[in-house]
Amino acid sequence: MKFKPIIPFEPVSSEDIPKGSEWISQIKWDGVRVLTYVDGHEIMLFNRKLNERTFHYPELKNITSLTSAKSVIFDGEVIALDKEGKPSFHEVMKRDGIRRMDRVNDIAKDVPIYYMIFDIIFLNDEWINEYSLKDRLNLLLNSIDPNEHIQIVPSNSDGPSLYEVAKQHDLEGIISKNLSSRYIINGKNADWRKIKNYKDLIAVIGGVTYRNGVVNSMLLGLYDNKNQFWYIGNVGTGKLTRAEWQEFTKGIEPFKTDNKPFINKPERLNKAQWLQPLITVKVQYMEWPKGHSLRQPSIQSFVSADPKMCKLN
């Protein structure tokens, strides 16, 4: 059968880790959500925004050799590791952000990826998303033999202990899931809860500052429900290399403007170059006090997102 890609089930944010025998927890990997569709004839990969990623990750084409299912949909996360061996959103975006497919094989040699599968929602011509998570996980374990690059995400019955492990290793956090939960396509509820070790968001760049002719910080903003663009802080540290800062400096030339895009005034920044708010970036931060700027923000990577959908909560 020919699959129509679906929007995956999403967790809600939570400060509390649920406890009890009906809950399991899994590590939250700092990667890219990818669903794999195998219809018996071909393999297709799509992300949560329904953008195809089949040709971005050729390593996953051999997934049919690991499963006896004639048709299946796996849900998981594609990750890449940094030099310390930790999942890195910055690294995986080097693969997910490829636009020239003729470069895939070369970049794949430098940035290997891993597919961490945590759910199965279709099996042998049958939708099983209405099954309980407990039953789906049992079917998942019996549906694929993992290898070095394709793994099944382990489940842990002790959420608080797993969260401590995530903190010790500076991982993104955990996802806690109710074992009776259904997989609601294009849905979101508290049956799945994400508890983050740190916070992050996707923001829009509305300006920059320079040092010695190279951009050294970005002025970030988000839109409110009236489409007004609000400054939320500036960031000049993170995962970008010097070469990437230099490339960014050249790339923003077409976006320069004399008009301040923010409705409010950036703090203590008098020599900013304003930009049309079109470039989006993922930022990690420790705290965002009400009425103040982000505290300790850190750039993770450039991302492809609709700026107008980058909203204030």
Q: Where are the domains of the chain?
A: 10-196, 199-309
For residue 169, give the DSSP letter: T
Q: End-to-end CA distance of the chain, in Å?
A: 41
**Phi/psi of residue 281, nearest 5 degrees:** -145, 145
Which pair of tokens denotes residue 151? 């793994």
Cα–Cα–Cα angle for 76, 78, 80, rounded to 5 degrees: 150
Q: Which CATH architecture has domain 199-309?
A: Beta Barrel (2.40)
- β-bridge partners, 302: 281
Q: Cα(313)–Cα(311) distance, rounded to whole angstroms?
A: 6
Whole-model pTM: value is 0.77
What integer pLDDT is reported at residue 268 of this predicted model? 64
For residue 20, give the DSSP letter: S
Contact 239, 88 (CB under 8 A): yes
Please count the other Cβ atoms lying within 10 Å of the Cβ belonging to residue 126: 8
Q: Give the mean pLDDT per block of 10 residues along the chain (313 residues).
A: 88 93 95 93 92 93 89 96 88 89 90 96 96 98 92 96 93 95 97 91 96 95 96 92 95 96 82 95 86 88 94 87
Q: Cα(194)–Cα(178) distance, rounded to whole angstroms?
A: 12
Helix (H, G, I), strand (E, B) or coil at 107: helix
Cα–Cα–Cα angle for 135, 140, 146, rounded to 5 degrees: 155
Which runs of consecutive H residues, i.e. helices, occur in 61-177?
A: 89-96, 104-110, 133-141, 159-168
Q: Is the Cα torsion angle 62, 67, 72, 74 positive or negative in sign? A: negative
Could you tell me the CA-to-CA distances from 311 to 131, 166, 220 in Å, in that order?
34, 28, 12
Could you tell me the CA-to-CA distances from 54 to 46, 67, 130, 188, 303 in Å, in that order?
7, 18, 27, 26, 19
Query: What does the H/E/C string look like for 23-82?
Result: EEEEEECCCEEEEEEECCCCEEEEECCCCECCCCCHHHHHHHHHCCCCCEEEEEEEECEC
C-beta contacts of 256-264 below 8 A and 24+ residues apart:
260/206, 260/207, 261/206, 261/207, 261/221, 261/229, 262/206, 262/207, 262/219, 262/221, 262/229, 262/230, 262/231, 263/228, 263/229, 263/230, 264/230, 264/231
CATH of 10-196, one of 3.40.50.980, 3.40.50.2300, 1.10.150.50, 3.30.470.30: 3.30.470.30
What integer pLDDT is reported at residue 44 of this predicted model? 94
